[in-house]
Each structure stands twice: as structure tokens, then as C-alpha cells.
Amino acid sequence: MTAPGRDPAAAEMRVVEEPRELQRLAVSVRMSGRSIGLVPTMGALHEGHLSLIRRARSTDDFVIVSIFVNPAQFGPNEDLDRYPRTLERDLEACRSCGVDAVFVPTASALYPEGFQTYVEVGPLAARLCGASRPGHFRGVATICLKLFNLSQPARAYFGLKDYQQYRVVERMVRDFDLPLELVPMPIVREPDGLAMSSRNSYLSPAERSAATVIFRSLEEARRSCREGERDPRQLAALVRGAIEKEPLARVDYVEAVDPLTLEPAVGLPVLIAAAVFIGGTRLIDNVLLEEPETAAP
């Protein structure tokens, strides 16, 4: 295998629209002995996405970024039609990061007429966002399986802001014996702590200011844990109470769950996961709390 870096045979970044073209490209790359890194996205790229792309670029020989707003993971009253689409800007960002190929399919290309086979997700998808957004993770798992089959990556990169998504896809990879490694990447935040999200662009200036309550509340739980609080229910209640003091915030859920099973936690480590509406915009965030001797610095 060559040292990771931009494919020397690629004169410029390829933009691929057809699934079979991507599959042929992936087969050619793998037959040449090069590893493929995949970064699945829905576009509207921000620094969080770019951190995944840079990690892939530093690890794999050939980097593929997919940009696809997946209708199968949106409910009937969600923001599919207004989800931000900034393709030209996204392509330029990919070029600047040394991406080798960008996959930009249409919905009809990935879900042709008569499409009827979906991935059935299990208990990991039942709680948290799965309870609030029925069918969401079925759509996530299905599109990820299709992207994995088409791009044949050695590694795929996922941000941990979407922690439950990572766990659901990780379970699918294990259960289906898929020959790839999932690489989890830390949450990337704005200077004031707000987790980077494409949906942040929906926020008005007042809502943008109010949205910082989510991170501040999670940090209060982290401080309380460091000071000795070990009851997951108390830590979650602290977060909920702090968020509810913000007039522009409406809690969808705040839960304390086991970071592996996503079932209610009984002790540490615990993931405090939150979904909060700021105005009409639903944002998610989380913090992992561990015993002090094993906690990340």
C-alpha cells in the first residue's frame, strides 16, 4: 500500500453521480492495492465534516466523500425540503482537503422505482432520536449499507455528535460482517461550545445565542460528576433543568444512557444525550462521563 496522501494518478477531484460509476471506481482503486476512506455526509459541510475528511486523508490512500440528503431518514413533517444544500461550496471544500472523489447521486439513483428493501434496526435505534423520529435509523442504516457496498471502504468516518447513529451503524457493520472499520471522531464545536451542525444555519441571532445553553448544561453535568455526583438520573435532571431555564429552548429529551447499549444507565460511564428545539430547530448534543481515573483529559 502506498503512503496515505492524494492519489498521484488523479489529475483532479472526480465528481461521480451514478452509483455504478462509483462502484467501478472503487473496484479499480482496491485492485491497485490502495485503501479507500469514506466520509458519508448530507452536505452543507462545516468544520466538523472537514475534520473527518482530513483524518481520512491522513490515513487512507483514496478518499471518497458522499453528499446526499437522504429522504429515507426524514419523517413526513421534518425538514427534508429546507435542509441546506450548498453543493458548489461543498465541492470546493472537498478540493481544498485533497478529496479524490465526491459522490453526488440523486434520490432516484439510490432509490429507483420499486425500491423496497430496508435495513431493520434493533434496540439501539429504539430510544433517544429513534423514539422521537420513527423510521429515522432505518433510513440511516439503509443508506450507509448502500454507500458501503458502492464505495468498498477500508474505513468510514463518523462524528460523535450523532452518537446514536454511530452505534447503530457500528452494530450493523458487526451484524452483517462488513469488511470495514468505523472510525469515530470527536465533536467539533464553535468557540462558544455549540456543536457544529448544518442545522445551525436555521437559527436567528437570538436563537443562536440561546443554543449555547445545551453545551453549557452538559458541561454543568461534567463538573457535577467531577465533584462526586454519580447518579445518572441526577446528572440528566441537572442538564434538563438548566436547559429549561432558557425561554427559547424546548427539550425533546435528555437521557442518561449506557454508552454501549443506550439503555438507561445505572452508573458510570454514562452518556448524557440531549435533543433540544431552539425555536423551530432541533439540535442534538451529548457528553460522555467516566470515572475520573479513566476520563479523557
Grid coordinates standing for 282?
Answer: 432541533
Active site residue 49: yes
d(CA 297, CA 286): 17
Q: Are 274 and 254 in contact (CB under 8 A)?
A: yes
d(CA 79, CA 1): 42
Element spanning 195, H or E: none
Grid coordinates standing for 107?
Answer: 434520490
Query: CA angle 195-198-204, nearest 5°?
Result: 85
d(CA 154, CA 59): 10
d(CA 173, CA 183): 12
> 10 Å Cβ neighbour count for 287?
21
- Which residue of the set 49, 133, 138, 146 is catalytic? 49
Q: Are 63 and 57 in contact (CB under 8 A)?
A: yes
Cite the active site residues: 49
